[in-house]
A and B are shown apart, each in its own frame.
Chain A
Amino acid sequence: MEDIKSKVWDVVVVGAGPVGLYAGIEIAKAKSSVLILDRKQEIGCPKRCAEGLSLRWFNILGLKPNPEWSIQPIHGAALYGPSGKQIKMKNKEPQGYILERKMFEKHLAIEAVKLGAKITMKHLVVSAKRENGIVEMNVEADGKIQTIKAKLVIACDGIDSLVARMLGLNTKNNLNDTDSGYQYEMTGISGYDENLLHLYFGVDIAPRGYIWIFPKREGTANVGIGIGAYEEKTAKFYLDKWIASQPGVKDGSIIEVNAGGIPVGGFLEKMETDNLLVAGDAGHMVDPIHGGGIGIAMEGGRLAGAVAVKALKAKDFSDKMLSTYTKEWYALRGNELKRRLKSRHLLEQLTNEDFDYLAGSISMDEALKIGNGTLTKTDKFALFTKKLVTRPKLLKIMVKYFQ
């Protein structure tokens, strides 16, 4: 086996999640040496994810649906208010897929290695420092500590990112901007359309969040919840309570337990420092409305890879050289996400009655535009004067956010 500690790697990527693997692919394509390491035993396991990826992201990332890992086509969504009223949209063509992330990530790993990357598992980075312009990381593997060296490190180490913090970049999450997520992969459940995503809203159902069913075909689905981290009761409490009230779900079997924090806001002002770039959950690259971080974060990983390749060419790994990364990311995605963060803050203020009223009166198109923060003047006029005029409090909130 190749001795990974005998040389100075061009790039070491910490974290073999979708983001680290995608960053690695980008670097390997440019023929630079890249090592991707992860503390876990198996790529893709345990997942901290509901595995939904929309077609938009397939296109942006240049991915093609593959029956080995994009296992369930999704044609639309149904949003439910607390009393069961719903807004539904179903298209003829698939709008996205539920992935089998284990397979998806293994597929990415094989691709990365084919292109020349090296991957190693069960390697935990325990400390990192700079020495003569090079990063030296102490990595625990096989019960021993070994030193691995790199010109540049890309921290793709997820929500619990410590690697960036070891190198002086504060990536800590604030409770206010973090969701607490919990999920069961269940099988033997029924009573929902397997071609739709199902989202359940209500302050008693999922405070500051929602419950989801993301179908994975044949009575199997990810059934999960994301709530504000500040809530007194746990995400598990709310999910268990809800499942117990659902006839088609409550008698199903649990085949996986997943949990995770979701960095839904609080974007980082700075995503690089000397010899370091940070991407994915570690860099808080997640959609503030739905908590989706596969697509956005992989795009961020690809950008980090591209910036790394430029730095390698210029042989310059200074903060100044790497600072284009933060700028480019905000231009590409960050500014759009900031707009969606505003919409999230709006959603957090709605009451059960508001949710029910909206579910019974607005269209999916309007719901999406509210989420995206892209209501046009005409949309606003129609919404405010025709639909919200009888609900002054709700109107006030909407006007505040969308004036």
Chain B
Amino acid sequence: MVVKNNSNKCAYCGACVGVCPTQALVLKDVRIFVDESKCISCGACVKICPVGAMELSKEVKTASKSKK
């Protein structure tokens, strides 16, 4: 599973970054960047997001996607 940020919903508050155990998320220039190679699909970011902008999708991680 991979986690995705829906930039249309996102309020760029950084709460998800603060609870991510693996530093897979970064807030930069009003965008959340997900480093899929670090993400362990724990769902913490999905839970805390005040607006439901982080979504765990069934998509499988691919090698090319894990690169930034």
Contacts and interface: CB of A to CB of B under 8 A. Distances in A.
A48 B18 CA distance: 14
B20 A259 contact: no
Interface string A177-188: 010111000000
B63 interface: no
Contact of B11 (A140, A175, A258): A258
A257 B10 CA distance: 11
Contact of A174 (B19, B23, B51): B19
Given A259-B51, A261-B13, A229 B19 contact: yes
B23 to A, nearest CB: 6
Interface in B10-41: 11-21, 23, 26-29
Given A160-B27, A259-B11, A259-B13, A236 B18 contact: no
A261 B51 contact: no
B26 A162 contact: yes
B19 A182 contact: no
A175 B48 contact: yes
Interface residues of A, number: 33
Given A159-B14, A160-B18, A261-B13, A181 B23 contact: no
B47 A229 contact: yes
Contacts of B17: 159-160, 162
B25 to A, nearest CB: 8
A39 B28 contact: yes
B42 to A, nearest CB: 10
A182 B28 contact: no
Contacts of B23: 162, 165
Contact of A261 (B15, B28, B29): B15
B49 interface: yes
A162 B26 CA distance: 8
Contacts of B50: 180-182, 234-236, 259-261
A46 interface: yes
A180 B15 contact: yes
B44 interface: yes
A162 B44 CA distance: 16
Contacts of B14: 48, 158-160, 260-261
Nearest to B20: A172
B28 A175 contact: no
Interface in A143-188: 158-162, 165, 172-175, 178, 180-182
A174 B13 CA distance: 17
A263 B19 CA distance: 10
Contact of B21 (A159, A172, A259, A260): A172
Contacts of B15: 159-160, 178, 180-181, 229, 259-261
B18 A263 contact: yes
17 contacts: A48-B14, A124-B29, A140-B28, A160-B15, A160-B27, A162-B23, A178-B18, A178-B19, A229-B47, A231-B47, A236-B51, A258-B11, A259-B11, A260-B14, A260-B15, A261-B48, A261-B50
Interface of B: 11-21, 23, 26-29, 44, 47-52
Interface of A: 39, 46, 48, 124, 126, 140, 158-162, 165, 172-175, 178, 180-182, 229-231, 234-237, 257-261, 263
